[in-house]
Amino acid sequence: MNRGIRLLLALLVGISAAAAAEEVPAHVTAAAFTPDGQQLVIGSQNGLQIIDGPTLLPTRMLTTNLVHIHDVQFSPDGRSFVAAGGEPSEQGRLEHWSWPEGKRILSADVHTDVIYRITWSADQSRWTTAGGDGRCHVVDVHTGMPGVTFSGHSRAVLALQAFGQDTNISAGLDHTLQLWRISDAHHLRTLNQHTGAVNDVVVRPGQNSDRPIEVASASEDRTVRIWQPEIGRLVRFARLPSIPRCVAWSPDGRWLFAGCDDGRLRQIDPEDTSSIVEVGGIVGRIQVLLVTSDGRQLFIGGSGPCRTMSVSRVE
């Protein structure tokens, strides 16, 4: 091969690599907005990336040891974030990173199967993890060592949300939602009206103290259900034409959005769950759904290229 052909091939490879680096990320499995809302940290088949919020183009990569990434969560003060995932049936790992420096502070293996969800405590002293091994661990932020363990699920735990100061609500493959105390892993209540695996659970924001706190859950039974877990009440439910993979509330709690297996995003009125409107989506399954803190933008990620859309389009 002569020198001219080699130079041409090198140029073409360089152009191809540059183009790939500038593509909108696909196969997104986890995401979180940065504290200023201008960027996102995403987990995908390419590992951990920082992408620009307005354009969704990658700006830098972080070298991670996570084989699969299922969740990314910023600390309450916005000065660090934690990414969680691992390797199926082998390892559930978390990585703690500084922000905006993007330096890894700690890495810890805390499950014998992948970590699907991770949450921060309000005082930033501990994480709670939900794993494919059916357990939830409360983990010390400084050491990465598990403390108390909740073992109330019979199968993999897919979803987890903080519920008040000392309570978590978790859900998973066993069709149940479990309410339990963080400090001692004491079981408080089981909600078991779903007839399929529960893929996601989120606490409704903007609620006042004169009514029980509500949460929404998304299940393989093609329903999104709204609960008042403290009193064990199923409030109402919406049946969808496709399996909801993830759900997110608008910051004021006025709307509930569900991302589905058919790639469509659906808006649900939580006070009248028969009111369901299809408002957009992506090509492929939706796996990640975020709403910006100002409530103006939705981020949608999954098996196709991610995108954002204005909430004003769906009001």
Per-residue pLDDT of the chain (315 residues; tens, 9 = 90+): 444 444 333 333 343 333 334 588 889 999 999 999 999 999 998 899 999 999 999 999 999 999 999 999 999 999 999 999 999 999 999 999 999 999 999 999 999 999 999 999 999 999 999 999 999 999 999 999 999 999 999 999 999 999 888 999 999 999 999 999 999 999 999 999 999 999 999 999 987 777 889 999 999 999 999 999 999 999 999 999 999 999 999 999 999 999 999 999 999 999 999 999 999 899 999 999 999 888 888 999 999 999 999 875 455
In this prediction, residue 13 carries a pLDDT of 35
What residue segments make up the domains of the chain, in order of their start? 25-192, 199-315
Q: What DSSP letter does each residue of 169-238 carry, written as one string?
A: EEEETTS-EEEEETTT--EEEEE---SS-EEEEEEPSS--TTS---EEEEETTSEEEEEEGGGTEEEEEE
In this prediction, residue 5 carries a pLDDT of 41
In this prediction, residue 24 carries a pLDDT of 85
Using alpha carbons, select from 304, 259, 302, 284 the residue that is nearest to residue 43. Answer: 302
- Cβ neighbours around 8 below 10 Å, total: 11
The answer to whether 104 and 92 have CB atoms below 8 angstroms apart is no
Tokens representing 7 are 């130079």
In this prediction, residue 163 carries a pLDDT of 85
For domain 199-315, the CATH class is mainly beta
Enumerate the H helices of the chain as residue ranges: 3-21
Tokens representing 57 are 């183009």
In this prediction, residue 23 carries a pLDDT of 81
Fold matches, 25-192 and 199-315? yes
Q: Which residues pair with 305 in a beta bridge?
A: none
Instruction: Give the CATH superfamily of 25-192.
Output: YVTN repeat-like/Quinoprotein amine dehydrogenase (2.130.10.10)
pTM, entire model:
0.90
Centroid of chain to Cα 270: 21
Q: Which residues pair with 95 in a beta bridge?
A: 83, 107
Rounded Cα distance, 132 and 7, in Å: 49
In this prediction, residue 57 carries a pLDDT of 95
